[in-house]
Amino acid sequence: MASALIQSQQLSSNFTQLIVHTSSPDLNFNSSPLVLAAAAVSLTMTSLKEPRRVAEVMLAWLGLELVSLTELQTLWAGYGHICAIVARVTDTDGAVTPIKTSPAIRQEPDGTYRLIIKLISPPRAKGKDEGHLRKMLSYEVEQYFYQEVAPRLAEDVAVAKCLASTLDMKGRPRADELQGLTATIITDLRPQFPVAGEKRLVLNRRQVHAALDWLAKYHGSSWASLPDDLGRFVLPPLEEATRREAGNGAADPKLWLNGGYTYLATRRKEYGSLCRDEYSEWSSAFCSPVDGSSHSIAEMVAEFLTPSGRPFETYIHGDVKSENLFTTQSGDKVAFFDFQYAGVGVGGCDIAKLFTCSVPVEMLSHHEDIPNQLPMGDGERALLEKYRETLIDQKPLGKGPADYEWA
């Protein structure tokens, strides 16, 4: 594999030189597009060098070797890669390898395994940049979710299975080569869930019901593993950085204390700007003190949504939208991914974001013209009732709230 990579890089370099040297005004030939193409090939091969190396090291822990690696996505601002892997069992003369004994992975008809690797290798950041801290903590949270939380969810909660991660690489072969990196290998859900939600896509009715079913089962199942002590969960970025600098951080990572990424504690700067904007219709609505209180409606809602150990609190996904799910061909089942903002919270937060981002308005209300104030429509109530019914059915014995009535 290494020799093939070197040969590809040499080919790209030779191709570029060939084009440069054949460029001539006498030939009336513009080589610029070809030079750019060659440069792109070279850059792609170089950028994938690290994911290949990391994948080869981690696959070896499973008794697998890399067949191919294809980049699916470059993480925002150059923070890493998400790549699809095809792997096969290393030739071990019939010996039992870890992958052969794992019930979490399905072998393809040709004997290979389809996996996903998510590799985080961030650029350097100056000082306490909140955005950088948020992203780095979110990748830490997601890795913990796949390794520690996902295995404890009910079997009917479709989620990728973690096969290897740098979180527990101590003592593994060549682990020293991965110091400073965050990498996770998980199962590829696309064979079972081939339809991607994609960006800004409004789900159809069947997909909406499937998404609600998944969320209800996920929220209900999470009650079984939610600890009583919330003191070791990840705080908002700047607070967490201060805690760790003082040596008071958790010995091992957890999920966010407050799931999601739009709650008020992480958006104080934006909230302050809104409160100073006298021309915004939202300024008085969110920032003015409520009668009889010194707090605004935004502050009161934020206080209610802040986890405090109440029985109805659970693990939430934190970023529920159509581009973070795949569905079956028929749309009757979904699987969510992207658990960077998973944490403790109120299940209704996930539902609210789903309704806002991905549910057709006609499924919620029959109003053709949406007024400024809108009571709950029959469609919205029916969807919430369906969610609540599944949630209660999923509730583990002795866990969660004693009842889950309408407020």
We report the CATH number of the domain holding residue 373 as 3.90.1200
Whether 321 maps to a domain, the answer reads: yes
CA distance 218 to 394: 9
Output the pLDDT for position 20.
41
CB 259 within 8 A of CB 265: no
Q: Are both 183 and 213 inside the same structural domain?
A: no
Q: Are both 164 and 226 inside the same structural domain?
A: no
Whether 150 maps to a domain, the answer reads: no
Q: Are both 285 and 163 inside the same structural domain?
A: no
pLDDT above 90 (res 370): no
Q: Are both 173 and 224 inside the same structural domain?
A: no
Output the pLDDT for position 230.
87
Domain that holds residue 281: 195-394
Counted domains in the chain = 2
Whether 35 maps to a domain, the answer reads: no
- List pLDDT tens digits, range 26-81: 445 454 554 444 434 333 434 557 899 999 999 999 999 999 999 999 998 889 99
CA-closest candidate to residue 185, choices 91, 94, 75, 69: 69
Stretch among 82-96, 234-248, 276-290 having the lowest mean pLDDT: 82-96
Whether 232 maps to a domain, the answer reads: yes
| Cα-to-chain-centroid distance, residue 327 | 16
- List pLDDT tens digits, range 134-175: 999 999 999 999 999 999 999 999 999 999 999 989 999 999
pTM of the model: 0.83
Q: Are both 183 and 230 inside the same structural domain?
A: no
- Residue 306: burial class (beta carbons within 10 Å; 0-12, 13-18, 19+): middle
Of the pLDDT bands very low, low, confident and very high (cuts 50, 70, 90), residue 404 is: confident
Q: Are both 220 and 288 inside the same structural domain?
A: yes
Q: What is the mean pLDDT of the chain?
A: 84
Q: Are both 282 and 302 inside the same structural domain?
A: yes
Q: Are both 76 and 104 inside the same structural domain?
A: yes
Whether 108 maps to a domain, the answer reads: yes
Whether 19 maps to a domain, the answer reads: no
Q: Are both 166 and 237 inside the same structural domain?
A: no
Q: Are both 258 and 353 inside the same structural domain?
A: yes
199-212 b/e (C-beta count within 10 Å ≥ 16 → b): eeeebeeebbbbbb
